[in-house]
Structures are given as C-alpha cells and as structure tokens.
Amino acid sequence: MLRIAAVITFIVVLILSFNYSKSNVRLHFGVSAETSQMWAANKRSDPYNKLYEGMRFYHSLLRNKWVLIRQELNTETPRPQRVVPQFLDFTQHLDLHHRIEEAHIFPLLAKRLPQFADNAAHKKEHEVMHKCLTDLEGYARYVQDDMSSWSLSKAKVLVDRLEGALFPHLEAEEESLKAESLRKAGFTVEELRRFQM
C-alpha cells in the first residue's frame, strides 16, 4: 500500500512540477543538484536515515518551488500572470504532500514518535499551514479571475505568513526523522522498509 502511495506521490509531483510560461515554455522539475545528490545518496545510506533523506527530497522540491516564488516577487515588477500559477502550483503540491503524510506516513510514525500523533506538534503545524494555504490559494484564484485585483503587498503578506509556518515545520519534521531519533524510538530496519520514499 505504501509503495503505491509513493509511486502516486512521485507521479503527482512530476505533474505538478510542470511549469509553463508563454514567453519561455520550459519543463521545470524543481530539482536542484543538491536534491539529485540527496536522492542518489538515499539509495546507499544507513537504512535508519532513508526516511529522513526521502522526506528531505520531497521537502527540497517544495523549497525549490518556494525560491521561484520569492524570486518572482522580488523582481522590480512582479507579474501576476507568472506568480499566480506558481502560487496555485505550490499550494496544490503542499496540500497533496500533507495529505499523503497524514494518511500513510504519520500513522505509522505515531506508534513510536508522539510528535506525529493526531493531536501532536506536526499535525497541528499542518493545520496552521493549511489555513495559510487556503488563504493564499483563495487570493490566487481571485486574482486569476481578475488580474486587475493584484496587490503585491497583499501577496507578500500571505507569502510571509505561509513561509513563517512552513519552514520551521519542514526543519522540525526532518529533525524528527533523523536516524538517531528513529533508533531511539525503537524502530527496526524492517519497519522502516515499509516506508517507501
């Protein structure tokens, strides 16, 4: 079941990572050299570190997409025609990532790592981010329907709010998945193999 979820996640990430622009049609997978190296290292590393490395891979896709959003917002004249699709792509990608984590990964981790339980830290962080995602996606859809309603200051407020919730969460989640945490929690290598990242 987890293997199917991992395959579906990979396919969806690829689909969501297509980034088209009228002036510069290109395929963008959001994968940096660092991300590619992490993916390769994951195949030959300590089995207790594979979950951490797999999560870092998916998180780095999100971080790379975020860099593109920030770069566009920080240009002299950000174009809503470019930023709005990036907002929508990012919000859909992050929402899907959270749904997969909460349905397939967190329940298994919660058996030994309390921060992944339903009412614990990482799940509550998802709730905060979901509110920020809903606000950003709502604004993007509003602007998509009426580009004259674009406000750079409003966009930056929404982006700053999401960033403030997102990046500390990614770091905390990754820290929870490091090899020493999984060993200390008592996971076996066989249990960790059930996580297909």
Write out pLDDT tens, residues 73-110.
999 999 999 999 999 999 999 999 999 998 889 888 99
Q: Is there a contact between 98 and 170 (Cβ–Cβ < 8 Å)?
A: no
| Token pair in block for residue 32 | 């940096």
Domain borders along the chain are: 2-15+29-193
Total residue count of the chain as it appears in this document: 197
Q: Is there a contact between 66 and 163 (Cβ–Cβ < 8 Å)?
A: yes
**Residues contacting 164, CB < 8 A, separation 6+:** none
**Residues contacting 116, CB < 8 A, separation 6+:** 105, 106, 107, 109, 110, 122, 123, 176
Q: Is there a contact between 133 and 94 (Cβ–Cβ < 8 Å)?
A: yes
Q: How confident is the model at residue 34 (pLDDT cuts 50, 70, 90)?
A: low
Longest pairwise C-alpha distance within the chain: 56
DSSP 8-state code for residue 31: -
pLDDT digits (tens, 9 = 90+) for 179-189: 999 999 999 99
pLDDT digits (tens, 9 = 90+) for 2-19: 455 444 554 544 444 443
